[in-house]
Chain A
């Protein structure tokens, strides 16, 4: 069963604006990861945040994790048209070969 639930399911913003996407999950986790998928393509790993971390940055990306609320957010600052894609959060619980459990995804459209 799917673990993560992203919110909103679809987001449309103007280029230059910030995009915030939220993810909630149900069980304990080792880490939470965000992936991006362009239409009809595979997934690209964006960022990983461990359960003992609260915030992480990578370029224009900022991820937060609140384990007490079982939620995470992905912020993309100064969005670009090229950021248009689907974004998925995925959680991992268990050992090194544990599987990723994906949320339903958020479709982000950035208007030029």
Chain B
């Protein structure tokens, strides 16, 4: 199946700094990628849908100025957590859908563990 990678796998940053997380589709082109956030022992909450060449679509309650998403190419989307605070500490997961008629399966990256101190 298709492979999605994330980098870094874990990051620790100080409060007030910004952190960038990369999501790459390795063997397919993804016009759409999704960013999720997951708290311990909880489900995935969709943060935003990233569209190549256009602005991301954010879910209700997600601050677009805090979570900056850039989908500059068909294989790369980035999520930047700006002015991070301890409450932003979480597991961030991206996914990509391989384009094609009737293709519904999403391929998930391994996740990035963010800890803000």
Q: How large is the interface on B (under 10, 10 to 19, 20 to 34, 35 or more residues)?
A: 20 to 34
Q: Residues on A close to B: CB < 8 A? A: 2, 30-31, 33, 35, 40-45, 48, 88, 92, 96-97, 99-105, 107
The one of B1, B46, B104, B113 that contacts A33, using a Cβ cutoff of 8 Å: B104
Q: Is the CB of A41 within 8 A of B111?
A: yes
Question: Is there contact, CB below 8 Å, between B105 and A33?
Answer: yes
Residues of chain B within 8 A of A31, CB atoms compared: 104
**B67 at interface (Cβ–Cβ under 8 A)?**
no
Is the pair B43, A96 in contact by a Cβ cutoff of 8 Å? no
Q: A97 touching B106 by the CB < 8 A rule?
A: no
The verdict on B28 contacting chain A, using a C-beta distance below 8 Å, is no
Q: Which of B66-117 contact A (CB under 8 A)?
A: 91, 93, 95, 97, 99, 101, 103-111, 113
Subset of 19 A-B contacts with CB under 8 Å: A31-B104, A33-B104, A40-B111, A42-B4, A42-B108, A42-B110, A43-B44, A43-B108, A45-B108, A48-B104, A96-B99, A96-B103, A96-B104, A97-B32, A100-B34, A100-B106, A102-B43, A105-B43, A107-B41
Which applies to chain A's interface (DSSP): helix, strand, loop or mixed? strand
A45 near B107: Cβ-Cβ < 8 Å: yes
Docked complex Cα distance between A40 and B9 (Å): 10
**A to B contact number (C-beta, < 8 Å):** 58
- For B105, give its contact among A42, A48, A99, A103 (CB under 8 Å): A48
Q: Is the CB of B34 within 8 A of A99?
A: yes
B25 in contact (CB, < 8 A)? no
| Nearest-neighbor residue (CB-CB) of A97 within chain B | B32
Could you say which residues of chain A place their CB within 8 Å of the CB of B103?
A: 96
Instruction: Give 18 A-B pairs besides A88-B43, A102-B45 with Cβ atoms closer than 8 angstroms.
Output: A2-B43, A33-B104, A42-B6, A43-B44, A43-B108, A45-B106, A45-B108, A92-B104, A96-B99, A96-B103, A97-B32, A97-B49, A99-B46, A100-B95, A101-B46, A102-B43, A105-B42, A105-B43
* Contact of A42 with B111 in the complex, beta carbons under 8 Å: yes
Q: Do B104 and A30 touch (CB < 8 A)? A: yes
> A104 to B93, Cβ gap below 8 A?
no
